[in-house]
């Protein structure tokens, strides 16, 4: 049975630029790099950068990364200073910041988890919400 996400692979147009962004801005640790890729990690997250033509979508699909409340403001400022594009303003429960990486992949840093989100839905349900 599935017990977690094994790894995330994203297509990037420039391995070094993406390695620098994910390491220097988001704090990932680089492990290996080769002509067409790199492996990085952050706690239990294994990230693979793969040299390819990125094709980010215009939909809501994105990767949300968890941050501690005490780190949220500082990391948000660090991300803004890096010159990234902000793709959405937060309108939901919890502190969130939505931004794109150098190749336009949509990312989010978020404080909180599923239990907090479900608790907030008891007070402010989405339109058409049904509990399963």
Q: What is the pLDDT of residues 78-106, one digit of tens each?
A: 999 999 999 999 877 779 999 999 999 99
What pLDDT was estimated at residue 111? Answer: 94
- Ranges of beta strands (E only) in 52-94 are 63-66, 86-88
102 vs 33: CA distance, rounded Å: 18
pLDDT > 70 fraction of the chain, expressed in percent and rounded: 100
- pLDDT band at 37; cut points 50, 70, 90: very high
β-bridge mates for residue 97, sequence order: 109
Q: What is the mean pLDDT of residues 20-32?
A: 98
Tens digits of residue pLDDT in 59-84: 989 999 999 999 999 999 999 999 99
Secondary structure of residue 70 in the 3-state scheme: helix
pTM of structure? 0.89
Question: Can you give the pLDDT at residue 11?
Answer: 96
């Amino acid at each position: 049975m599935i017990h977690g996400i094994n790894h995330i692979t994203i297509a990037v147009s420039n391995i070094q630029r993406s390695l620098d962004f994910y390491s220097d801005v988001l704090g990932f640790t680089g492990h290996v790099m080769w002509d067409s890729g790199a492996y990085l990690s952050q706690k239990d997250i294994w990230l693979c950068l793969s040299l390819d033509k990125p094709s980010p979508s215009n939909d809501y699909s994105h990767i949300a990364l968890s941050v501690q409340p005490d780190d949220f403001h500082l990391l948000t400022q660090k991300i803004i200073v890096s010159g990234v594009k902000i793709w959405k303003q937060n309108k939901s429960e919890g502190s969130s910041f939505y931004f794109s990486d150098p190749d336009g992949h949509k990312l989010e840093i978020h404080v909180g988890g599923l239990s907090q989100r479900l608790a907030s839905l008891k007070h402010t349900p989405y339109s058409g919400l049904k509990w399963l």
